[in-house]
């Protein structure tokens, strides 16, 4: 479905002028790190070998001041700033990369985790030991200034320290972190994993999804969805059910993002299915690979450029940036300009989501609803069921006994499917027949007492008719029923009458 509207949205984007602020508000508003003239000029001048370097540099002044001075510079040079002037401008207004992070030795790092002892080959054990040492090199935490002046950094502040991939990747990434966490658990470092998980959950809370990595210029896209699996590995290792309980809603909202923003309808054998794909509905070059993207786009007719740029971003979202997997259209099937990522329904993405859906359902069981129900069913039987009368009754705590009077609510366990013994259902039905409750001309009375109260004889309330009528059906049926919609209609009726 989203696939079909895609072309339309893209047209809308084009019509509004891509990259300008009037377009669908891009998840990253920064006029320095995400789009705008300054980014364009600096990246197209190729001041650095790697475009990522510029967008990783912190500002030395507030962004509006830097932008104002840039406009002055651009005007002074009639919009074509000489390279040297541009270089000097960047040097004056930006700081060197890596300033915002500091080294961090994980607090739960220990010299000899058990897995090392289990490796018999001495060479392999030594190698694994070196790998284990790497956690101390790759551990990073953020300086407090990233929190106090977020507008001066492309880095997104994270509360907890983390492990980075290393090399040019000095921030953390989404799907990479799953395998990092598997390694950390093997190294018996669950506290580090918990902090990283918390960072990802914070991102979902703030942005509605997990971005590709912890930089504002990655906010437009996600990466293969492995957050639920990360939680599963952590909980399997630690039994930290409290953490799971606190964050299960956030996990669910990440999956919502995939179903709302990344789903597509596919027909097969006359049936229609909803599956997922990678798709980034924003044009413009990727800020961290700006000149490469812009140059590739320039090889295409103008009308095709924004599609290409969006498909490149979708390719980056897949984690496979880039691969022949995503090449489909175009005259040259080995050229990246043939990329059509969003036109493929990826096996791995759909398998990851299938796994996450299974894990979520296990999580809810694990959080105890299955047990709670079993305990409550046992209590309903032991406390509220009266074998002599053959029905359920309210329990009077004051006098420590059941209040053995007729109310339609006595049959709610039948209606709710909360009985395990079909003999009890039979007895309850017999109680209903014997008490001749169903013979009242104007419906099932609320009680048999005439007190003048609304919820007493002879009034008959709609919800109570339903409790008894459908409860009776359920008691006669082969399996306890599952009601869902009933409660809504019952409370509607109540609302109207009161």
Ligand X SMILES: *[C@@H]1O[C@H](CO)[C@@H](O)[C@H](O)[C@H]1NC(C)=O
Q: Which residues bind ligand X (CB under 6 A)?
A: 27, 78, 207-209, 239, 257, 260-261, 332, 334-335
Q: Which residues pair with 327 in a beta bridge?
A: 339
Tell me which residue has its CB nearest to ligand X. 208
User: Given CA atoms 176, 182, 183, 189 in this order, what sign does their dihedral have?
Assistant: positive
Cα angle: 347, vertex 351, 353; to 5 degrees = 125
- Least CB distance to ligand X at residue 479 (A): 31
- Least CB distance to ligand X at residue 25 (A): 8
Reported residue count of the chain is 498
Q: What stretches of 157-303 adopt beta strand conformation (E)?
A: 162-163, 263-268, 271-276
- Least CB distance to ligand X at residue 348 (A): 21
Comparison of 239 and 371: residue with beta carbon closer to ligand X: 239
What is the rounded end-to-end Cα distance, in angstroms, of the chain?
A: 44
- Least CB distance to ligand X at residue 472 (A): 41
- Least CB distance to ligand X at residue 79 (A): 7
User: Given CA atoms 437, 438, 442, 443 in this order, what sign does their dihedral have?
Assistant: positive
- Least CB distance to ligand X at residue 257 (A): 5
Task: Decide: 283 and 304 in contact? Cβ < 8 Å.
Answer: no
Question: CA 276 to CA 212: how far, in whole Å?
Answer: 17
* Angle (deg, nearest 10), helices 190-207 and 241-261: 40
Comparison of 65 and 323: residue with beta carbon closer to ligand X: 323
Closest CA relative to residue 229, chosen from 399, 50, 391, 363? 363
Question: CA 141 to CA 133: how far, in whole Å?
Answer: 17
- Least CB distance to ligand X at residue 299 (A): 9
Kindly give the pairing relationship between strand 271-276 and strand 263-268: antiparallel
Comparison of 60 and 238: residue with beta carbon closer to ligand X: 238
Comparison of 115 and 207: residue with beta carbon closer to ligand X: 207
Comparison of 140 and 237: residue with beta carbon closer to ligand X: 237
Question: CA 129 to CA 112: how far, in whole Å?
Answer: 8
- Least CB distance to ligand X at residue 304 (A): 16
Comparison of 141 and 247: residue with beta carbon closer to ligand X: 247
* Cα dihedral 317, 318, 320, 326 in deg (nearest 10): -110
Comparison of 53 and 338: residue with beta carbon closer to ligand X: 338
Comparison of 75 and 489: residue with beta carbon closer to ligand X: 75
SS3 396: strand
């Amino acid at each position: 479905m989203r696939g079909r509207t895609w072309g339309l949205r893209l047209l809308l984007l084009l019509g509004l002028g891509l990259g300008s602020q009037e377009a669908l508000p891009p998840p990253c508003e920064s006029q320095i790190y995400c789009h705008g003239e300054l980014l364009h000029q600096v990246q197209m001048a190729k001041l650095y070998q790697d475009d990522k370097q510029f967008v990783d540099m912190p500002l030395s002044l507030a962004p509006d001041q830097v932008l104002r001075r840039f406009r002055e510079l651009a005007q002074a040079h009639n919009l074509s700033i000489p390279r040297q002037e541009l270089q000097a401008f960047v040097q004056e207004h930006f700081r060197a990369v890596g300033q915002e992070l500091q080294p961090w030795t994980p607090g739960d790092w220990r010299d000899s985790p058990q897995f090392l002892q289990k490796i018999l080959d001495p060479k392999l054990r030594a190698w694994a030991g070196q790998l284990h040492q790497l956690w101390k090199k790759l551990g990073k935490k953020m300086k407090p200034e990233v929190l106090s002046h977020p507008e001066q950094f492309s880095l997104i502040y994270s509360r907890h320290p983390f492990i980075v991939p290393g090399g040019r990747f000095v921030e953390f990434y989404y799907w990479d972190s799953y395998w990092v966490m598997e390694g950390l658990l093997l190294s018996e470092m669950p506290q580090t994993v918990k902090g990283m998980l918390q960072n990802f959950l914070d991102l979902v809370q703030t942005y509605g999804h997990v971005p590709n990595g912890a930089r504002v210029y990655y906010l437009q896209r996600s990466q293969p969805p492995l957050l639920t699996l990360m939680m599963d590995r952590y909980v399997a290792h630690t039994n930290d059910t409290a953490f799971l309980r606190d964050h299960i809603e956030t996990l669910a909202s990440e999956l919502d993002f995939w179903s709302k923003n990344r789903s597509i309808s596919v027909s097969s054998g006359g049936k229609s299915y909803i599956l997922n794909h990678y798709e980034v509905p924003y044009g413009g070059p990727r800020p961290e690979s700006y000149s490469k993207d812009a140059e590739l786009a320039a090889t295409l007719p103008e009308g095709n450029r924004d599609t290409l740029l969006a498909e490149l971003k979708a390719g980056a979202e897949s984690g496979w940036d880039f691969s022949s997997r995503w090449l489909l259209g175009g005259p040259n099937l080995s050229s990246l300009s043939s990329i059509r990522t969003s036109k493929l329904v990826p096996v791995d993405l759909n398998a990851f989501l299938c796994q996450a859906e299974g894990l979520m359902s296990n999580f809810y069981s694990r959080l105890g609803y299955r047990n709670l129900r079993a305990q409550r069913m046992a209590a309903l039987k032991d406390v509220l069921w009266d074998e002599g009368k053959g029905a359920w009754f309210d329990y009077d705590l004051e006098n420590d006994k059941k209040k053995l009077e007729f109310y339609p609510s006595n049959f709610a366990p039948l209606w709710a499917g909360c009985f395990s013994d079909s003999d009890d259902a039979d007895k309850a039905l017999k109680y209903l027949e014997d008490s001749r409750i169903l013979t009242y001309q104007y419906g099932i009375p609320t009680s048999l007492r005439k007190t003048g109260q609304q919820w007493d004889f002879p009034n008959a309330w709609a919800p109570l008719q339903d409790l008894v009528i459908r409860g009776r059906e359920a008691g006669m049926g082969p399996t306890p029923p599952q009601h869902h919609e009933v409660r809504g209609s019952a409370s509607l009726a109540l609302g109207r009458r009161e």
